[in-house]
Structure 1
């Protein structure tokens, strides 16, 4: 029994004249189909063009990535956004790629049916595989693998082409720097209020004019008050240079036992329940305490000594003064316990500040390095009025100067009853309690003195005569970052499509016994199925003739 698909009216086997671009001789056997030059539209010209177009579009996409990699997004010149262009290129690339892949799968259908018997249902599965991913997935799982399997895999994988191409483009925020003379912070190598000649030529230490701003810095540190750094910056800024500035440092040690070992105690006349002690720290600072049983006891005592070696030529930068703080707790009878004696020194110092940065109201240094000067580098210049450390090429430091008048005023303040103070708990009338409230109890004395030195150093850097370190503004800017590993997916898909095209063309050019009908619908109407022999055959051999007849024939469904 024979099943026939009704042919278009006027279909006849090709004979007579052949198209001028035919690459085959005219004397074909009855089983041979009309073939043409490789670059004929009836052969593979269109598929070759689309395959080449897909490759060129992929190269164009890679060129876009290469040109924009590491550049600000604002450098993109087109009126259309970068992501949109990538989307257009990837869509066009897959469209061109799939035009050829679809045609090649359709053509391999005829090749497979020519090479060996196939289930007639496979005819539809080949056709569905050439149409889209679902048909390709069915084809991969139900049809024996062949060259068309590669085409089906490409059809499925091309779904990832666009998303992977989009993943290649990444946007990250980077700071773009620009020099700005309004961006600055202060640093200084001089502490000199220029008081020479202002009526202090014959004044003693106690008559030195005080520096109110310096006093404020000292008290802010001792009272643990945080004051923002003084700088100028709008937004985010940075300073790439290294700046050396004059400052202060402290060094504190627990000298409790050594001090208590020097204690000399005794009672007051006519008051046997009293016990007053005098003691001296290893640094030579005197401490006095008092005690009256059930009445009162010293819980805080602070004393300071001015370091006379300041007037000599010291080793390194000079130590200005030393301070000792006595603290204790008392019980209900005013017996002392938890006695602690801490000795701290205040010295001049020089710091190298590197990689400063600011963000809004926050300012910080990336690195703060204390400079260790050579022994004996500090000396007196211009008589007894100025101390100076000469510039050092080895340490990369400038010349620094400090007025002895200002140092004297500083020492005088630390010797005043603002700092030198005591607190007696109980039945005692306290007057000179100074900063006792800030340092009594379990306060971290070394930490407070370190904060005091930092505050004093910041004051020097913010003085009106300080130098300005000019910085750069940091403007957050979106930059294009190309993630090349994601480009591997589209490249593999394109290369696979090119190889698929080459293999399909080579296999189909070997014999004229396989029709070059690709995925066309017209040849199906011409084909006949002979169930007796299990054959599909057609009398029409020339695809051009078939198309020409289709243009002139008029048909309707029976």
Structure 2
């Protein structure tokens, strides 16, 4: 009897209601081997799905490995972002993994009943476990057993598959340096405003040629009015990581009150009004140890001096080019300050302070500079005192122009115009800077210039001087006669990968492969068991019969022996659902 005739016989038996038989229907020519084992080829769809799922996970890993620690702009995925692309691969991998797991669990239920008797509710438990996390959870809670437990765990872990994959990618803005030459730091190795010397010597300035920008810097610093920009940064942040040198100014201040009073043993008598002559009280002059003359007249009950500022030059106007070393000191400034007695207008030594401050040329060493917006932060700021320099004529300047050159080991060559030094000396010794401030009737009797006395009425004299020289240094650097090129910092979003999150998807894949291999091997080694998997039609062909000698254990069986018979049966039969009548 041919195979087709055998199927016809089986279908006739099915139509007559004899789906379950003890023995297979015989075949004359090609008998059907009911003990034959299903081929692994019956799993081709599940194997293809699992291979596709593994390929998707490999693609995810390849993308992450390729773009790890790279700018987000390096991704060229068209309208899809890197996270969108990974999400697509993740969803595809999860769905196809679920297909394979579901098929394996469905096939396992037949293996489960083939091995030993079980309650029929296990059919539903195992089948529902392959359809989603809820069914798997119910299986684990109600009746965890055998390989179905492994499958249920994989199904539940698969619910977090996409979440874990998406957590592997994060985006972090990082600072990226661009050395395109647009970040500039102002430095100065030369101070030469173009001023020409006056007629009275090397360090004599023509008032009409004074450097107004430097004069303005003096007052800006003393009155805390800000400084010019000494850097140019095209972005919100720039860095200069080298070591840079610049010419500048420095101040050194000391409290010389006691030393000055020792030079004037009768000072107490003069200030408290017991001096023999009124003229001694009015024209009182104090000379500091450094030679600065400070006028501080006092007339008890009428007026007193509470601030007096004066300066003296430190560079010789008679210096000869190349004949003598030129110290970097420019001027020495004296500051007298006393507490105001608005009742008796008396000044006592214990209520006065006298300072001497030397203003000099200096060099500065800067390193680790960072700009943020309009602010410049200097990581290391070191003052370098200059050794004496050399005065020489400048052949490229008009006749009589000279400059002081400082050639010091470890520093670049620094040069300062003698005319600009003279201009600063003229400023500090003039009434624009030096002067006195009186309390009482003094302004009426002695209408003298106050100079910069307001800057010293209160506060720290040394701090005021430091602010002044810092402003002068910044003004010098703002000329950009030497430029240090730094790096412009751009905020770039980078792709970061946290590989720890990939462990769960990887574990799901590995367990799925192992679970599927076990199910395939058990199915192949079970004779006569077709690959029904989750076939509903196959389940309809089974019925349960009981024997008295089997202790109420039913026999679950069918007369359909292969998937081909099942397919033929499904194609040839038609059915209609009938519901029991209500009583």
How does the TM-score come out when normalised to structure 2?
Answer: 0.81
Question: Residue in 1 aligned with 2:556?
Answer: 536
My pick for the range that moved more, 56-65 or 69-78, is 69-78
2:473 corresponds, among 441, 454, 457, to 457
Aligned CA distance change for structure 1 residues 490 and 272 (closer, same or farther; 3 Å): same
How big is each residue's C-alpha offset from its partner over 1:5-61, in whole Å with a ceiling of 9 and x where there is no partner? xx97485776678xx9xxxx9654xxx4x43322x1x2x222222122111110101
1:326 corresponds, among 313, 328, 336, to 336
Question: Residue in 2 aligned with 1:4?
Answer: none
Aligned CA distance change for structure 1 residues 500 and 201 (closer, same or farther; 3 Å): farther
Q: Distance in 2 between matches of 1:257 and 1:199?
A: 39
Please give the residue correspondences for 1:407-422 in structure 2 after superposition, counting only pairs within 5 Å.
407-422=421-436
Please give the residue correspondences for 1:77-476 in structure 2 after superposition, counting only pairs within 5 Å.
77-79=76-78, 80-180=80-180, 183-195=183-195, 200=199, 202=201, 205=204, 207=206, 209-236=209-236, 238-240=238-240, 241-263=242-264, 264-265=266-267, 266=270, 267=273, 271=278, 278-308=285-315, 313=325, 318-331=328-341, 332-336=343-347, 338-360=351-373, 362-370=374-382, 372=384, 376=387, 378-382=389-393, 385-390=402-407, 392=409, 395=410, 397-429=411-443, 430-441=447-458, 443-463=459-479, 466-476=481-491
Determine which structure has greater relative contact order: mean sequence separation of CA pairs < 8 Å that are 6+ residues apart, divided by chain length: 1
Question: Residue in 1 aligned with 2:533?
Answer: 518
The answer to whether the 8 Å contact 2:195/2:211 transfers is no
Unaligned 5+ segments in structure 1 are 1-6
Q: Distance in 2 between matches of 1:139 and 1:224?
A: 78
Aligned to 2:359, what secondary structure does the other structure show? Answer: strand
How big is each residue's C-alpha offset from its partner over 1:93-150, in whole Å with a ceiling of 9 and x where there is no partner? 1011111111112222222333344333222111111100111111111113322212
The answer to whether the 8 Å contact 2:37/2:529 transfers is no
Aligned CA distance change for structure 1 residues 543 and 283 (closer, same or farther; 3 Å): farther
The answer to whether the 8 Å contact 1:189/1:400 transfers is yes
Q: Distance in 2 between matches of 1:530 and 1:326?
A: 121
My pick for the range that moved more, 130-139 or 246-255, is 246-255
1:35 corresponds, among 34, 37, 41, to 37
Provide the alpha-carbon RMSD of the alignment. 3.2
Q: Distance in 1 between matches of 2:290 and 2:506?
A: 78
How big is each residue's C-alpha offset from its partner over 1:378-406, in whole Å with a ceiling of 9 and x where there is no partner? 333449922222364xx3x3211112221
The answer to whether the 8 Å contact 2:248/2:473 transfers is yes
How does the TM-score come out when normalised to structure 1?
Answer: 0.85
Aligned CA distance change for structure 1 residues 512 and 200 (closer, same or farther; 3 Å): farther
My pick for the range that moved more, 292-301 or 303-312, is 303-312
How big is each residue's C-alpha offset from its partner over 1:478-516, in whole Å with a ceiling of 9 and x where there is no partner? 322222222223222222222222333333333326553
1:466 CA drift (Å):
1.3
Aligned CA distance change for structure 1 residues 307 and 354 (closer, same or farther; 3 Å): same
Q: Distance in 2 between matches of 1:338 and 1:497?
A: 92
Aligned to 1:205, what secondary structure does the other structure show? Answer: coil
1:322 CA drift (Å):
2.2
The answer to whether the 8 Å contact 1:357/1:364 transfers is yes
Aligned CA distance change for structure 1 residues 507 and 260 (closer, same or farther; 3 Å): farther
The answer to whether the 8 Å contact 2:188/2:476 transfers is yes
Question: Residue in 1 aligned with 2:50?
Answer: 51
Question: Residue in 2 aligned with 1:3?
Answer: none
Aligned CA distance change for structure 1 residues 369 and 541 (closer, same or farther; 3 Å): same
Aligned CA distance change for structure 1 residues 299 and 527 (closer, same or farther; 3 Å): same
The answer to whether the 8 Å contact 1:177/1:475 transfers is yes
1:180 CA drift (Å):
4.4
1:280 CA drift (Å):
4.4
Aligned to 2:160, what secondary structure does the other structure show? Answer: helix
Q: Distance in 1 between matches of 2:279 and 2:390?
A: 53
Aligned to 1:334, what secondary structure does the other structure show? Answer: coil
Unaligned 5+ segments in structure 2 are 1-12, 395-400, 547-551, 579-583
The answer to whether the 8 Å contact 1:35/1:516 transfers is no
Aligned to 1:229, what secondary structure does the other structure show? Answer: coil
The answer to whether the 8 Å contact 2:285/2:295 transfers is yes
Q: Distance in 1 between matches of 2:14 and 2:300?
A: 129
Question: Greater strand share, 1 or 2?
Answer: 1
Aligned to 1:372, what secondary structure does the other structure show? Answer: strand
How big is each residue's C-alpha offset from its partner over 1:319-353, in whole Å with a ceiling of 9 and x where there is no partner? 22222322222233334465333332222122233
Aligned CA distance change for structure 1 residues 199 and 435 (closer, same or farther; 3 Å): closer
Q: Distance in 2 between matches of 1:378 and 1:147?
A: 93
My pick for the range that moved more, 363-372 or 489-498, is 363-372
Q: Distance in 2 between matches of 1:277 and 1:486?
A: 85
Q: Distance in 2 between matches of 1:183 and 1:345?
A: 35
Tell which structure's C-alpha radius of gyration is larger.
2
Aligned to 1:330, what secondary structure does the other structure show? Answer: coil
Q: Distance in 2 between matches of 1:530 and 1:483?
A: 57
Question: Residue in 1 aligned with 2:67?
Answer: 68
Q: Distance in 1 between matches of 2:314 and 2:74?
A: 64
My pick for the range that moved more, 503-512 or 448-457, is 503-512
My pick for the range that moved more, 348-357 or 416-425, is 348-357
